[in-house]
Amino acid sequence: MSHIVNAGLALGLNLSAVPITGNASGSTPMVSSWLKLAQVDTAVVTLATAVGTGGVWTAQVATNAQGKGAIPVPNPPAWPTGTHQSASVTVQMPGGEYRYLQLTFTPNAGSGAVTATFGVITGLPVLVRERQLGMFYVVPAADNLAGSHALEYSGNYDGTVFGGQNKPLSGLNNTPSEPSAWCPAVDASGSAISIAAVAGSGQTLPLRLGIFEFVGVRAKFTPTSGSGHLRVYSNRKA
């Protein structure tokens, strides 16, 4: 029996559930902090402004929390325009060393409320060649980040992430028109695997998945309130 253990980061966050909130003032930009989205494929963000309030949304990515090497987010979504905005957009992280995201709203009309709120954040998939798998969830007790987890499996993930890092597995050949398919994680009996939500007071949670039958796994997290860190580690054994 092999004793080789592979471990790695499946999702690493340090963010606020609501990274922009406040009232617009003239043309002064409203700028989020640098939000850590390590090993993230996509993040849904809901952008809203009050009646009569409008402006321009932009985003950039960087390699560290001080904004090093900042560039406009590649392949930007269709940002909402005009006044009284309410739209959810999907930001695709570029992968590699670009692990930080900053959102900016530059007002051009009105002085009402402006918010940017995170929805579901989808981690980069982990290619699993081993048979035994465990996931380890950590939120520091000192942080007050709350939210819900999800775990998904794929039977045809080939290691290619569109817009992210590429580690292809020959034979499956995912393409943008025929991407990998994902389904909610289930145990050997077919029952859904539930993961305890983070209530905002920290979490250290191991999830043992036993004999693994799929080629890919990915973690998701939907923040609901607060701010702080979340890390999900994958631990695999051949």
208 burial (CB, 10 Å; 0-12 / 13-18 / 19+) is: exposed
Q: Torsions phi, psi of 143, nearest 5? A: -90, 160
Q: Could you tell me the pTM of the whole model?
A: 0.93
CB within 8 A of 164, min separation 6: which ones? 41, 92, 93, 94, 95, 96, 124
pLDDT in tens, 126-161: 888 777 888 999 999 999 999 999 999 998 888 877
Instruction: Give residue 233's pLDDT.
Output: 95
pLDDT in tens, 5-53: 577 899 999 999 999 999 999 999 999 999 999 999 999 999 999 999 9
What is the average per-residue pLDDT within 89-102? 94
Instruction: Give residue 164's pLDDT.
Output: 59
The string of DSSP letters for 214-231 reads -SEEEEEEEEEE-EEEEE
Instruction: Give residue 8's pLDDT.
Output: 87
For the chain, the farthest-separated pair of C-alpha atoms sits apart, in whole angstroms, at: 67
Instruction: Give residue 1's pLDDT.
Output: 43
Instruction: Give residue 170's pLDDT.
Output: 65
H or E segment and range at residue 48: strand 40-49
Q: Which residue bears the tokens 């009050």?
A: 50
pLDDT in tens, 196-213: 999 988 999 999 887 788
